[in-house]
Amino acid sequence: MSKAASARIYRIGDLARTSGIRVENIRYYERVGLMPQPRRSAGNYRLYASAERERLAFIQRCRSLDMSLDDVRRLIALRETPARSCQEVDQLLDERIAYVGTRIAALEELRGELRALRARCGPRRSDPHCAILNELSQGLSTELDASPKQLKASRAPCHLQRQYSGVINATLGSPDHVDVKSRLHRECTLRDPKPLTSAPYLSAHMD
């Protein structure tokens, strides 16, 4: 990096444009402590140096690997203290790899169910009723006839929703709130037979 580039000062709009990260996300990272509080100009504009831009790029790279804010925070701390052993970094990555493996297995199971459902409707259909829609409709009448108590029990939140309900509430107002809820919903609908003991991307807001 040239001396001129390293001395460059960015306003938040410039930083957003050069990094590809939205202004509201940069502000959120400041609120949760991933980014330091910026200096202010005489006109009260946020001012960022090249060091902050580099940190933002590091955060962006970690987030592109689906790491939680908590994971990113740990990695930033390790990055800023190079004397510490990289064993913690190895452990964090091992946890992520194991988690991704669990998700892949659950997605493979989901793909199998979808393929089985698709196979119910062959290329030559003599039945005027769609077999797939009929299959998806099975059980609806039972649910409609169920008592309020039975219906409440059948719709009880999965273990992840119960475990991380506070996390979801904690993200209200953050750019990641909708993303967290959608990810959690997907995990609960994958019907993974083995409860996940940790969901790294949820541990931060976590994220």
150-182: pLDDT as tens digits: 555 555 555 555 445 554 555 555 555 555 555
Cα dist from 95 to 71, 176, 196, 200, 204, whole Å: 10, 22, 12, 8, 15
CB-based contacts of 7: which residues, under 8 Å, 6+ apart?
50
Cα dist from 87 to 102, 126, 132, whole Å: 23, 62, 50
- For the chain, the domain total comes to 2
Residue 197 binned pLDDT confidence (cut-offs 50, 70, 90): very low
- Cα of first residue to Cα of last residue in the chain, in angstroms, is 32
Residue 207 lies in a domain: no
39 in helix, strand or coil? strand
Q: Check whether residue 180 and residue 92 sit in a common domain.
A: yes
Instruction: Give the structural domain span for 42.
Output: 7-64
Residue 54 lies in a domain: yes
The answer, as to whether pTM is greater than 0.85, is: no
Q: Check whether residue 104 and residue 191 sit in a common domain.
A: yes
Q: Check whether residue 25 and residue 127 sit in a common domain.
A: no
Residue 185 lies in a domain: yes
Q: Which pair of structure tokens corresponds to residue 121?
A: 């409707």
CB-based contacts of 57: which residues, under 8 Å, 6+ apart?
19
Out of 4-13, 98-107, 165-174, 185-194, the most confident range is: 98-107
Q: Check whether residue 111 and residue 183 sit in a common domain.
A: yes
Q: Check whether residue 106 and residue 155 sit in a common domain.
A: yes
Query: How are beta strands 10-11 and 39-40 bridged, if at all?
Result: unpaired
Q: Check whether residue 53 and residue 154 sit in a common domain.
A: no
